[in-house]
Structure 1
Amino acid sequence: MASQKITEEAVYFCTGNPLPKDIEQISYWLLNESFAERVSETKTRKGLALIDIVREVTMFVFKIKMPSDVRVQLINDLADIE
């Protein structure tokens, strides 16, 4: 209602939830790069809450095909952040 044009991006911004493309990018950082610095920068730039990021990344991790022991370690680490 606050926007002239209703788009998927506008809905995510209005609700304060991370965009799916942001979650994919953050998940890539989690698996391949310096996670903490990048997430902190993204939180500040996009005004996201850490809990929202962790919640969405956790759901994304369950969708990715990976060895069980790796998935367990990632979920444990995300739970520690939460």
Structure 2
Amino acid sequence: MRRVLNILQGCHSAYDVIDKDAVYNCTGQPRPEDVQNILDSMLNDEYSVALDYISKIKNNHGLALQDIITSLLEFVNAIDFPDQTRIFIIDKMSDIEYKLGNGASERTQLSALIGAFKVAVELAA
């Protein structure tokens, strides 16, 4: 409850109107539509296109890769992949999250995340 109040106080200080966008901007969390677009890009676009697109979203919205990975988990569980493929992706995501927590480069780990999804698409085919 205290966290919600702190977020609302921060939003009130920064914005005239407190709406969904204001809350996401104050907390620095990725918007669900951004996470869905990131997931779609990793699954469907070529590697370099996905890397550029996701980097642009991260920079434009000030997002951390760790927050994106946390938000991606819900979306990954909704994908119609075989269990082995889903396990592969979640295992790779946990490795990347661990490495980010220990100081690894976000750019390198973003590349690894996209690569894991590309391998998962191949496994599912």
Pair in the same fold by TM > 0.5: yes
Deviation at 1:47, TM superposition (A): 0.5
- For 2:35, the aligned partner's letter is I
Structure 2 residue runs without a partner (length 5+) = 1-11, 98-125
Larger Rg: 2
Q: TM-score, normalised by structure 1?
A: 0.85
Normalising to structure 2: TM-score of the pair?
Answer: 0.59
Give the structure with the larger helix fraction: 2
Q: Percent identity?
A: 38
2:80 is aligned to 65
Paired letter, 1:11: V
Alpha-carbon distance between aligned partners in 1 of 2:88 and 2:52, rounded to the nearest angstrom? 20
Aligned to 1:44: 59
- RMSD after superposition: 1.5
Report whether the alignment pairs 1:56 with 2:71. yes
- Which structure has more relative contact order (CA 8 Å, sep 6+)? It is 1
